[in-house]
Structure 1
Amino acid sequence: MNLKKYFTLAIIFTVSAFTVWAQNPVIRDQFSADPTARVFNGKVYVFPSHDIPAPPNKNLRENWFCMPDYHVFSSENLSDWTDHGVIVSQNKVPWVDSTSYSMWAPDCIERNGKYYFYFPANKNVAGPNGRKGFGIGVAIADKPEGPYVPQENAIDGIFGIDPNVLIDKDGQAYLYYSMGNIYVAKLKENMTELASKPVAIDNLPTKGMKEGPFVFERNGKYYLTFPHVENKTERLEYAMGDSPEGPFTMTGVIMDESETGCWTNHHSMIEYNNQWYLFYHHNDYSPHFDKNRSVCIDSLFFNADGTIQKVIPTKRGVGLTAANEKIQLDRYSDKSENVKIVFNDTTNTFAGWKTVLENKDAWISYNAVNFEKKNTAKVVVNARALNGGKVELRIDAADGPVLAEISVPEGSEMTVSKTKISKVKPGIHNLFVVAANNNPVEIDWISFE
């Protein structure tokens, strides 16, 4: 076990301005993908696409993406997210084929007090070449939450998906999108029409699918980031340049391809309260069907030369967790090999997961728990053990001081029990739960009071 890693993580969370808690995925009651995050009015807004299981009798492509509408979510602490409901639906956009379920990755940008929501979908009328294909439309609102009013027509001159908009420091707006290549075009002041013909961006990989561009500027450098299939599934890569239109130079990998088989990844980056974050998706709630995905967040860091440090996706996510909240150990920081994470209910994956400590000395850790209150006296555990079990609650290391020895009663149902703990010094601590005998123990959550 790498104790240095835990010390480093504790330092990161301690010096951060945040006193928040979170675990991945961050949207836990529906599927969500392709997250574009933006900071508006001191809040973080996420504009994802919306995966659903394919409705029956719709003549849809089997085992494919099915995406009917868009929600918008907001948060001030990156943990508690408010769903503001549907903002654009395939049934209410004049130019969209309302039977196509093809509302893929969107974006949203603010200009002069108006919010411009860009989204792709299949058209309901064929173009001059006889193809319907994908168009990109715009819906406009006075608030980031909406209501949004879709424009009558898609943007003229575009055949593509995955729109992304950058407003440069001189006020010029650029629209990026993908369709085989990644394209860039200038937008007019009205944000709904092109001011230049789209141009394919050079010097990007020519082999393997690339899509989902997200462009941002930092310290005078422009970052063109995008998913790319270098091997078998998408990984997140980036190129850097001195201009919004390039030229760009391929620079590195932001996140490796998934080890658990999610074919897509799609992302955005923001700086919020002096910390950068990577928003992305994975099929956590749908492990056997990777077209139903969920939004996740991890911290993002830059090297001194401006290059991006590779992000290792975590279950733990970002922020601090308050000790008096339900701590989901299954969203762990690290664990031993003899620990399993399984769904509470395989028929309803949104019910979340539980941790199974299989035998003696199995351990799981959860970092950056905020013990603000001086009088923390008990640990509350929701757990079960068919033959009865015991676990030790330790602090800051698997072999660290024992806060409590917890007896889990024999039985087949999850049972909430309370145990007195040793005094905890107020501050930020990493928790370790260690099996004290060979009887398997299943833990849903723990908390402190």
Structure 2
Amino acid sequence: MSRNPIIRHKFTADPTVLEHNGTVYLFTGHDEPPEGTDDYVMKDWLCFTSTELEAWRELPSPLKATDFAWASGDAYASKVIAHGGAYYWFVAVSHRDIPGKAIGVARAPSPGGPWQDAIGAPLITGDMLPQLHNEKENLDPTVFTDDDGKSYICWGHQVCHFAQLNVTFTGLNSEIRTIDLPQFMEGSHLYKKNSWYYLMYGYGQPEQIAYAMSRSIHGPWEFRGIVCGPAYNSETNRPATLDFMGKSWLFYHNGALPGGGSHRRSVCVGELEYLPDGTIKPFNMP
């Protein structure tokens, strides 16, 4: 395994990852605050590929926040998923007119692109929530398609929201409800393994990665503890998981590169292990 952080020439954050025909596609946020600025500056997303999780090749920047005509900017954490013979990229951005951030969807024929706004409008806006608790509430979407073909989206900042998507990913097919999780901050990641549903998320501040488990996508969710402690030199974290080469992997970010920190983060990866009862073995961030 290559040394962490795995991307060393740019600051990267908030990984989402999938495998296609033996190639791993790693999509990340892109931290680029100018010198002297200690704040989030994120305008686009990046994509890297690898066939062995060792060497990573950067593709041209595939998507930026303003590719969504209704967005004013701010490229927050995202999720890429294969669905119905195409690929969908769910992103969080700032809306030009509506408070509470917004979630958009881009579509492409392959994970390498080209990507285009799939709807021409946001999928989720702040005024769709039962109650807007904070202006960053529509952050960090994660999407999962169950064995029966139904797809679900989970997202939020300080409040964890959940809804079913319609079959074309152009709207919701249920009401928006909340999932009660201890010290939920953001960074949700929803997946299934060996008949268990897992919901990882950023826990507390500085954020650890915690998780809950359920036998149903609709819950109830049982909190099962901490996957790993706070990332080095970063107040946030965002998990992504991948089964590849016969092992399970956890992607995350820290602030370990020279000049790095909470607003200049870097994606890392390590092996994730499960115990016989389905719980996750505590992860030591390599």
TM-score scaled to structure 1, two decimals? 0.59
* Distance in structure 2 (CA, Å) of the matches to 1:33 and 1:236: 15
CA deviation profile, 1:84-122 (whole Å, cap 9, x unmatched): 121111232111114xxx211100111121100000011
Cα-to-partner distance string for 1:249-301 (whole Å, 9 max, x where unaligned): 0001111123x431111111111121000000001114563210000000010
Q: 1 or 2 for the larger relative contact order (CA 8 Å, sep ≥6)?
A: 2
Describe the superposition over 1:350-404 as per-residue Cα deviations: whole angstroms up to 9, x where unpaired: xxxxxxxxxxxxxxxxxxxxxxxxxxxxxxxxxxxxxxxxxxxxxxxxxxxxxxx
**2:31 and 2:42 in contact (8 A); partners too:** yes
Who wins on radius of gyration, i.e. which is larger?
1
Indicate whether 1:140 and 2:118 are aligned.
Answer: no
Residue of structure 2 in register with 1:445 after alignment: none
Aligned residues of 1:141 and 1:148 also touching (Cα < 8 A): yes
Residue identity in the other structure for 1:277: W
Distance 1:286 1:104 in 2: 23
Matched, 1:226 2:204: no
> Aligned to 1:75, which of 41, 46, 50?
50
Which amino acid is 1:153 matched to? A
Q: C-alpha separation between the residues in 2 aligned to 1:40 and 1:108?
A: 12
- Does residue 278 of structure 1 match 2:256? no
The reply on whether 1:172 has 2:150 as its aligned counterpart is: yes
Output the amino acid matched with 2:123: I
Q: Is residue 116 of structure 2 the alignment partner of residue 153 of structure 1?
A: no
Structure 1 runs not aligned, ≥5 long: 1-20, 57-61, 127-131, 315-449
Secondary structure of 1:115 counterpart: strand
Structure 1 counterpart of 2:263, from 291, 309, 322: 291
User: Aligned letter for 1:97?
Assistant: S
Paired residues of 1:213 and 1:226 also in contact (CA < 8 A): yes
Structure 2 CA distance for partners of 1:313 and 1:306, relative to 1, 3 Å: same
Aligned match of 1:36? 16
Instruction: Specify the alignment match of 1:47 in structure 2.
Output: 27
* Residue number among 177, 202, 205 corresponding to 1:199 in the alignment: 177
Residues 1:286 and 1:154: Cα distance change in structure 2 (over 3 Å): farther
SS of 1:161's partner is coil
Distance in structure 1 (CA, Å) of the matches to 2:159 and 2:41: 23
Q: Which amino acid aligns with 2:201?
A: F
Counterparts of 1:313-352 in structure 2 under 5 Å? 313-314=285-286
**Alignment partners' CA distance in 2, 1:253 and 1:301:** 13
CA contact under 8 A between 2:233 and 2:260: conserved in structure 1? no
What is the letter of the counterpart of residue 154 of structure 1?
A: P
Q: Report the RMSD for the aligned CA atoms in angstroms.
A: 1.7
Distance in structure 2 (CA, Å) of the matches to 1:139 and 1:270: 22
**Equivalent AA in structure 1 for residue 254 of structure 2:** H
**Residue 54 of structure 2 aligns to a residue in which SS?**
coil
Are 2:215 and 1:242 equivalent residues in the alignment? yes
Superposition deviation, residue 72 in structure 1? 1.4
Assess, with a 3 A threshold, how the Cα gap between structure 1 residues 309 and 89 changes in structure 2: closer, same or farther.
same
**Secondary structure of 2:66's aligned partner:** helix
Counting aligned pairs with the same residue, the percent is 30
Q: Which residue of 2 aligns with 1:351?
A: none
Runs of 4+ in 1 over 4 A off after TM superposition: none
What is the aligned partner in structure 1 of residue 5 from structure 2? 25
- The aligned residue for residue 112 of structure 1 is 84
SS across alignment from 1:91: helix
1:163 corresponds, among 110, 130, 141, to 141
8 Å Cα contact 1:201-1:245 kept in structure 2: no
Given the superposition, is the C-alpha separation of residues 141 and 255 from structure 1 closer, same or farther in structure 2, using an over 3 Å criterion? same
Contact 2:160–2:184 (CA<8 Å) still a contact in 1? no
Q: What secondary structure, in the 3-state scheme, does the structure 2 residue paired with 1:39 have?
A: strand
- In 2, distance between residues paired with 1:297 and 1:210? 22
- State the TM-score, normalized to the length of structure 2: 0.91
Give the aligned residue type for 2:263: K
